[in-house]
Amino acid sequence: MNTPQADRSAPARVAVLGIGMMGLPIARRLCEAGCEVSAWNRSRAKADRLQPFGAHVTDTPAQAVAQADVVITLLEDGQVVEDVLFQQGTTEGLRPGTLVVDMSSIQPRQARDHAARLSAMGVSHLDAPVSGGTVGAEQGQLAIMVGGKAADFERVRALLELLGRPTHVGPTGAGQLAKLANQMIVGITIGAVAEALLLCERGGADMAKVRQAISGGFADSRILQVHGQRMIERDFTKRGAVAVQLKDMRNALATADEIGFEAPITRLFEQLFAQAAGHGLAELDHSALFVELASRNGMA
């Protein structure tokens, strides 16, 4: 794993709320970069894993944020972000001038609502969802899509660069829009790769050889390389879950409905991922849509 180097311009005191699959490697990198990290998780045992790296683990989110310059949230969905920030006393612990960076994947309208409520308390907000999975988090190679004020982005840019490649994409909520676009492309492409490889297998071709043959052409993609290999190996160990992919597709459709945009391709794949989840695949990697499509064709 590449170890980040401390940057004197990066804020020293960071609270991380949510120490799950993404929160753990992100908080660990911040510790290794020399940041003073306080960590909270609903299940404290998960946060305790950071203690060997120097993190201070707290019993409540309010305790975690009390001295923080920057608060990073990495939580399950918009409702959980709402609960942790506004129902569990977190805002009571925030100092005026603190910057909240929500790296959770939620709906743009929720991000705008949270930003407005925090602003009324003198607290700044950026929505900064990420792509790259746990591997990207561990290696500091996340794609970070940031919405909010440009000045707030510049204030925290050095910190985010410890975690990957941050890009300011527009006003509040724009980061979440970019993440929805990312997840639409990921989910749809997983389906395309799975269906194409299964067609080849049914027709008598070697899936691994087909993947090799089309690599480097117009059909090549990171999905073909990474998820295609998982499909060939039938390795569906969870890195990005079917359930999470389904949540993101549904968030995309909800946002599309709000702004009067028709998204028929995303709607089709939301149905496919929903059926996969309903057939017991929810906690497998999202590449396990391959299993759903194989089952439909009697190839499971």
Which residues are known to be catalytic? Answer: 179
Q: Which two tokens stand for residue 171?
A: 């006003």
Structure token digits, residue 116:
């407005």
DSSP 8-class letter at 185 = H
CA gap 243, 76 in Å, rounded = 11
How is residue 47 written in tokens? Answer: 């946060």
First and final CA of the chain: distance in angstroms? 36
Rounded to whole angstroms, the Cα distance separating 198 from 139 reads: 32
**In sequence order, which residues have a C-beta less than 8 Å from that of residue 114 and are 6 or more positions away?**
81, 82, 85, 100, 102, 125
Listed in sequence order, the residues at least 6 apart from 18 whose beta carbon sits closer than 8 Å to its beta carbon are 40, 41, 73, 74, 75, 76, 84, 104
CA 59 distance to own-chain centroid: 24
| β-pair type (130-131, 142-147) | antiparallel
Q: Which residue has the tokens 């064709």?
A: 297
DSSP string, 32-78: HTT-EEEEE-SSHHHHHTTGGGTPEE-SSHHHHHTT-SEEEE--SSH
Q: Which two tokens stand for residue 174?
A: 């724009």
